[in-house]
Each structure stands twice: as C-alpha cells, then as structure tokens.
Amino acid sequence: MAVRKYKPITPGTRHKIAGTFDDVTTSTPEKSLVVGIKSSGGRNNTGKMTVRYRGGGHKKAYRLIDFLRDKDGIEATVKTIEYDPNRSARIALVVYADGEKRYIVAPTGLQVGQIVKSGEGVAPELGNTLYLSEIPLGTVIHCIELNPGRGAILARSAGTYAQLLAREGKYAIIKLPSGETRMILTTCRATVGAVSNPDHQLEQHGKAGRRRWLGRKPHNRGVSMNPVDHPMGGGEGRSSGGHPRSRKGLLAKGYKTRDPKKTTSKFIIAKRKK
C-alpha cells in the first residue's frame, strides 16, 4: 500500500494525497454479506440532531464483518482483498472449507490464496486468531476482544496494532495503540499481525468537497459564535474565547473525561500517552 501525491493542476488537487488501492483485488463485494445502511445525518431515533456537522455523503452499503472469528479448527482461504467504505482498513473475503464465506479485517501482508484459521491450538501466524493465553509474548496483534465471546473491539482501524507484553495469572498485559497498558483476560481472542492500509494517516483530502462526500459538513468554530450559542462566543473583534470548552461548557483539549470511579480502571496499568 502506498500513496500518490497529485500535481497542483486544480485548487482541489494542490494538497491532495490519496491511496493507490494497489492491494485491492476486486471492486465488487460479496452480495450475501452486504446489507443496506441508512445514514443518520447526526439524528437519533426520534429525529433530534444529537451530533452536529453531519449529513449528506455518498450512499454506502454495509459489509458484515466477522469480529468473532468463532469458526474454530476449519481452514479458510483468502479469496479477495477489498475496499470497505465503512472503515479505514481493508477487508478480506475468506472462504471456509465447508463453503461458508465471511469478511474479516485484513492484516498487513495478507495475500490472496493464503490460509487462515482460528481457535485453540492454532499456529500464531499472520491472520490467525488465537486466545491470548496461546500467543507468544512480544507478538504484534490486532482485533482484540475485551470480553470473551463479545467480538473484537480494540485495534481495528488502519495501521493500528497492539503488543502482548506479559501474562500474569488469568490476565494478559497488552500495550494498546494509544500507549495505554492494560490487563485483559487470557480467554479473550486476538488476531496476529497489524491492521492493513498503514498509509491511511498520510492521506489528505485536498478540498472541502471530498469531506462532503464522506458525510461531513462545515464545522463552525465556537469563538466565531455569539455568547448565546457557545461558551467561547462573543467579545470585541477576534477574541480568543478563554479556555477551550465544548458547547455544553465542558473543558476541552486535554481535559480528562474518563470517570475516575469507573470499575474497569483497576485493569489499567499505565494510562495513554498525553
């Protein structure tokens, strides 16, 4: 995977840096694993806008991803590597020996024709999903469960990975992409390797219209508003607005919002990098 930088022949291409899609092998998704999805536009189930600056965007279909990887002991062959409009990483269509097809998050280096497996006693090789109790220390992993059987929720976006540092009793100590080090039960599963499309962070849209295609509307600064609209609004001329706050008055830009009384804080050994 690489990126291409465009020549500035138009204002929109002057700063544009986009992916090359060299790793994508097909443009047609598996029909049985695709469902319709309705864009919310930032509205909740009653139609009230709860998130600002969302709306529009290109029509998308949702690919059903297997985050459980619970088909144990059966070999699966990678059929295609595909683009997914709903996530930054690439996805891989795998076909099991019994004919079942599933989508998985593709790790970096996964090739068409490669064999992947999951379950107990599986070799800790690229794309295989194992229990944390069976993965060698120091291994780079992704798609990590936080609760056994609930499916992967950690390290799923493009280029991210975690590292298994140690094991103590029934817990594994893992360093997460944020820099946080925490304990996770060894009965949870994880997939070997780092997530694909690591150059995603290098991309630049180049123009506001490309953000609109993604469903993002123009974002208004708080300091440009009136006092009735935002805590940082008002003032003569271009005033700074004081300490950064959200529209509801909560401190922003560095203010820790995690509940100090949260019960799972006891599993965090070292907090994330500031």
- For the chain, domains (ranges, CATH) are 24-41+56-196 (2.30.30.30), 220-266 (4.10.950.10)
CA 8 to chain centre: 31
Cα–Cα distance measured from residue 232 to residue 224, given in angstroms and rounded to the nearest whole number: 8
CA-nearest of 96, 72, 92 to 84 is 92
CA-nearest of 143, 181, 156, 161 to 273 is 181
Helix (H, G, I), strand (E, B) or coil at 267: helix
Tell whether the model's pLDDT for residue 66 goes beyond 90: yes
- Residue 227 is predicted with a pLDDT of 92
Cα–Cα distance measured from residue 261 to residue 250, given in angstroms and rounded to the nearest whole number: 18
- Residue 1 is predicted with a pLDDT of 60
pLDDT band at 2 (very low <50, low <70, confident <90, very high): confident
Token output for 217: 């509307």
Cα–Cα distance measured from residue 186 to residue 170, given in angstroms and rounded to the nearest whole number: 6
Cα–Cα distance measured from residue 112 to residue 108, given in angstroms and rounded to the nearest whole number: 12
- Residue 229 is predicted with a pLDDT of 93
- Residue 254 is predicted with a pLDDT of 83
Cα–Cα distance measured from residue 138 to residue 165, given in angstroms and rounded to the nearest whole number: 5
How do residues 214-231 score in pLDDT, each as one tens digit?
999 999 999 999 999 999
Tell whether the model's pLDDT for residue 238 goes beyond 90: no
Cα–Cα distance measured from residue 140 to residue 163, given in angstroms and rounded to the nearest whole number: 5
pTM: 0.91
- Higher model confidence: residue 96 or residue 253? 96
- Residue 69 is predicted with a pLDDT of 96
Cα–Cα distance measured from residue 41 to residue 235, given in angstroms and rounded to the nearest whole number: 32
Tell whether the model's pLDDT for residue 57 goes beyond 90: yes
Cα–Cα distance measured from residue 81 to residue 23, given in angstroms and rounded to the nearest whole number: 7
How do residues 116-172 score in pLDDT, each as one tens digit?
999 999 999 999 999 999 999 999 999 999 999 999 999 999 999 999 999 999 999
Cα–Cα distance measured from residue 141 to residue 177, given in angstroms and rounded to the nearest whole number: 10
Tell whether the model's pLDDT for residue 42 goes beyond 90: yes
Q: Which residue has the tokens 């600002």?
A: 52
How do residues 200-215 score in pLDDT, each as one tens digit?
999 999 999 999 999 9
Are the beta carbons of 178 and 273 closer than 8 angstroms? yes
Are the beta carbons of 146 and 188 closer than 8 angstroms? yes
Q: Which residues of 37-65 are buried (b: 16+ CB within 10 A; e: fewer)?
A: eeeeeeeeeeeeeeeeebbebeeeeebeb
